[in-house]
């Protein structure tokens, strides 16, 4: 939870016990259980083979929990769909939100955070992740790790228990899903995601890969922690003290390098945890992806021939402007050309190599007097790059061109005086990307547009009576449009619009002591459309921590 200094100079820390949160797979009107509008993973017909990774595992310390995985004997693959499910709960009491990572063969298969309990209520929650692209990982026995550090003592009493399973759906037709042949972790040892305390730190590993890599992708997680948890509220170092905020600006970005040469960019999603600013904001509806992070996929296919040359190659991730600290993890996904022993080719274009680091633009327009500070601070970044290459495969020469335009903007309006501390943040990240694959006379183009809008308003107002009202209002979205064109004709599309809003006011007396809250409201709507008529549209709404509306638009 963020500790915010009140204008009187009193430091107030809100107890985790203030927050009542629970979750279930299906939202129920009148319940305070955690409710999300997100859809379940779509599944094919038929019953799956189910492998339990661990059951009711207890998390009451900082020890890593080991477990063993065996492939389903009655469903050896190939699989049409692989779905990870998780069911967790925390006992009633006092506890903070915790980060949870689950790995198999060192590959991250789940990443998210936990809800907080109430003093007399312990929530439960459910999540799912489509792991079909990770099918190769599940074909052989693996050792796994569940990493969920949780302090339990006389003060923090909430104990977390969790069960995770994998559902395997056998292929029922002649069409086998086109999934990667090899899945590798970017880490070479256990213990969870790597700590990136500054831009000098890196998650890095040298690989000596098969000589017939045809396509390559990197699934990237970057999670803000500690001083960087609220990076989107940060300002330039030279004004951080006067604005009572963190430094290094509000811009963060993951840089992907291959042998030290820029190979891709991964924008950072502003995940918000259930202890953020005011815990009442996130009950019963948490922020977007809070309990189930999605990785950002970087296309490394233009480098496939280089990766196939039989020499060691180092992949690395650095976090631009990391400021104590980010956690980073990634998985390398490879498609192998079984029809040849040696892939050849080359990288033909890489404009990222000419601009290895972002060049954010900072603008400060602040006005300071003896009585007040007002004005704006902004930071923007624009990245426009192309990476291209070709491979000679057993089925001909294949050219791949990856283009992306990544734009970031964060504008903060401040009003600070003897009675007010107002920080109004408007942030957005947009990605306009395309991958064009040419083989012979055929052209296959995939376009992906992403948008991460965030507005975050913090308003602390001291009344003449001395009472302090802290009102926080947050609007957050994750929007995605993916289009596939073959020889100029659109053949499929998939769209996601996921948005949530929340507001609450905390009340403190003149001594800075918490006395209550009021006017809490939140809502989420998740809309999705995909191939074969897929449709999902759910809207949920809550008031004062109780779910009041559940509406489904797709039948």
Reduce the DSSP state of residue 360 to 3 states and report it: coil
Regarding whether 211 and 117 lie in a shared domain, the answer is: no
Regarding whether 16 and 66 lie in a shared domain, the answer is: no
Tell how strand 65-69 and strand 489-508 pair up.
unpaired
Regarding whether 60 and 33 lie in a shared domain, the answer is: no
Residue finishing a domain among 174, 197, 216: 174
Q: Are the CB atoms for 251 and 408 separated by under 8 Å?
A: yes
First and final C-alpha spacing in the chain? 39
Which two tokens mark 526? 């998740």
What's the pTM value of the predicted model, to 2 decimals? 0.94
CA-CA-CA-CA dihedral for 339, 341, 347, 353, to nearest 10? 120
Q: What is the 3-state secondary structure (H, E, C) of 334-347?
A: EEECCCCCCCEEEE
Which two tokens mark 26? 């299906």
Per-residue pLDDT of the chain in tens (555 residues, 90 and over written 9): 233 333 333 222 232 222 222 233 688 999 888 889 999 999 999 999 999 999 999 999 999 999 999 999 999 989 999 999 999 999 999 999 999 999 999 999 999 999 888 787 778 889 999 999 999 999 999 999 999 999 999 999 999 999 999 999 999 877 789 999 999 999 999 999 999 999 999 999 999 999 999 999 999 999 999 999 999 999 999 999 999 999 999 999 999 999 999 999 999 999 999 999 998 999 889 999 999 999 999 999 999 999 999 999 999 999 999 999 999 999 999 999 999 999 999 999 999 999 889 999 999 999 999 999 999 999 999 999 999 999 999 999 999 999 999 999 999 999 999 999 999 999 999 999 999 999 999 999 999 999 999 999 999 999 999 999 999 999 999 999 999 999 999 999 999 999 999 999 999 999 989 998 889 999 999 999 999 899 999 999 999 989 999 999 986
Regarding whether 187 and 164 lie in a shared domain, the answer is: no
The rounded distance, in Å, linking the Cα atoms of 128 and 86 is 6
The rounded distance, in Å, linking the Cα atoms of 117 and 91 is 7
Regarding whether 156 and 263 lie in a shared domain, the answer is: no
Which two tokens mark 332? 């390398």
Token pair 């900072």: residue: 362
Token pair 């965030």: residue: 454
What is the chain's alpha carbon radius of gyration, rounded to the nearest angstrom? 24
- Cα angle 382, 497, 491; round to 5: 85
Regarding whether 350 and 240 lie in a shared domain, the answer is: yes
Regarding whether 140 and 211 lie in a shared domain, the answer is: no
Q: Are the CB atoms for 13 and 130 separated by under 8 Å?
A: no
Full residue range of the structural domain in which residue 82 is found: 39-174
With a CB cutoff of 8 Å and minimum separation 6, the contacts of 515 are 507, 508, 509
With b meaning 16 or more CB within 10 Å and e meaning fewer, what string describes 282-294? bbbbbbbbbbbbb
Spell out the alpha helix ranges (H) of 284-326.
304-307
Regarding whether 372 and 357 lie in a shared domain, the answer is: yes
Q: Are the CB atoms for 467 and 458 separated by under 8 Å?
A: no
Helix then strand then coil, in percent of the chain rounded to 5, is: 5, 55, 40
Residue finishing a domain among 123, 150, 174: 174
Task: Give me the number of domains the chain comprises.
Answer: 2
Regarding whether 465 and 501 lie in a shared domain, the answer is: yes
Token pair 């902004």: residue: 378
Token pair 């891709």: residue: 264
Q: Are the CB atoms for 479 and 450 separated by under 8 Å?
A: yes
The rounded distance, in Å, linking the Cα atoms of 252 and 238 is 18
Regarding whether 17 and 94 lie in a shared domain, the answer is: no
CATH for 137: 2.60.120.230
Regarding whether 394 and 261 lie in a shared domain, the answer is: yes
Residue finishing a domain among 144, 174, 204: 174
Starting at the edge strand that comes first in sequence, how are the strands of the sheet with 124-130 ordered? Answer: 49-59, 160-170, 79-90, 124-130
Regarding whether 381 and 274 lie in a shared domain, the answer is: yes
With b meaning 16 or more CB within 10 Å and e meaning fewer, what string describes 106-133? bbbbbbbbbbbbbbebbbbbbbbbebeb
With a CB cutoff of 8 Å and minimum separation 6, the contacts of 516 are 506, 507
């Amino acid at each position: 939870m963020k500790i915010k200094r009140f204008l009187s100079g009193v430091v107030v820390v809100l107890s985790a016990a203030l927050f009542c949160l629970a979750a279930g797979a299906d939202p129920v009107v009148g319940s305070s259980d955690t409710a999300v509008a997100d859809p379940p993973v779509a599944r094919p017909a038929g019953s799956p083979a189910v492998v339990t990774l661990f059951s009711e595992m207890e998390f009451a310390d900082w020890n890593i929990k080991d477990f063993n995985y065996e492939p389903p004997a009655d469903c050896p693959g190939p699989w049409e769909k692989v779905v990870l499910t998780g069911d967790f709960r925390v006992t009633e009491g006092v506890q903070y939100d915790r980060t949870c990572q689950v790995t198999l063969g060192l590959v991250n298969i789940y990443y998210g955070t936990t809800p907080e309990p109430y003093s007399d209520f312990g929530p439960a929650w459910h999540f799912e992740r489509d792991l079909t692209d990770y099918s190769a990982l599940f074909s052989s026995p693996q050792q796994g790790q569940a990493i969920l550090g949780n302090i339990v003592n006389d003060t923090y009493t909430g104990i977390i228990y969790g069960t995770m399973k994998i559902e395997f759906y056998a292929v029922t037709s002649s069409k086998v899903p086109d999934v990667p042949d090899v899945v590798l972790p970017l880490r070479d040892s256990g213990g969870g995601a790597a700590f990136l305390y500054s831009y000098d730190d890196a998650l890095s590993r040298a690989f000596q890969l098969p000589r017939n890599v045809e396509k390559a992708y990197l699934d990237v997680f970057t999670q803000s922690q500690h001083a960087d948890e609220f990076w989107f509220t940060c300002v330039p170092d030279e004004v951080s003290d006067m604005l009572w905020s963190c430094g290094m600006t509000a811009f963060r970005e993951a840089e992907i390098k291959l042998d030290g040469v820029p190979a891709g960019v991964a924008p950072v999603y502003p995940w918000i945890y259930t202890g953020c600013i005011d815990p009442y904001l996130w009950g019963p509806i948490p922020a977007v992806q809070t309990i189930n992070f999605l990785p950002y996929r970087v296309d490394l296919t233009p480098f496939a021939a280089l990766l196939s040359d039989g020499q060691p190659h180092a992949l690395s991730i650095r976090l631009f402007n990391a400021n104590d600290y980010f956690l980073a993890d990634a998985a390398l996904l490879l498609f192998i050309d079984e029809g040849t022993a040696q892939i050849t080719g080359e990288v033909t274009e890489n404009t990222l190599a000419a601009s290895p680091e972002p060049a954010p633009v900072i603008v400060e327009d602040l006005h300071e007097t003896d009585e007040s500070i007002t004005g704006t601070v902004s930071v923007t970044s624009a990245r426009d790059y192309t990476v291209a290459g070709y491979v000679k495969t057993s089925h001909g020469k294949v050219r791949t061109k990856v283009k992306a335009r990544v734009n970031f903007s964060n504008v903060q309006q401040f009003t600070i005086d003897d009675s007010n501390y107002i920080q109004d943040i408007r942030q957005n990240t947009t990605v306009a990307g395309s991958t064009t694959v040419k083989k012979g006379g055929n052209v296959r183009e995939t376009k992906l547009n992403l948008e991460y809008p965030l507005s975050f308003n913090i308003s602390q107002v001291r009344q003449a009576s001395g009472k302090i009202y802290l009102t926080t209002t947050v609007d957050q979205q994750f929007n995605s449009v993916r289009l596939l064109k073959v020889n100029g004709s659109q053949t499929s599309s998939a769209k996601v619009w996921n948005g949530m809003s929340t507001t609450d006011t905390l009340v403190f007396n003149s001594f800075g002591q918490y006395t209550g809250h009021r006017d809490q409201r939140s809502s989420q709507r998740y809309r999705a459309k995909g191939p074969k008529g897929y449709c999902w549209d759910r809207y949920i709404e809550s008031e004062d921590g109780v779910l009041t509306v559940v509406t489904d638009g797709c039948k």
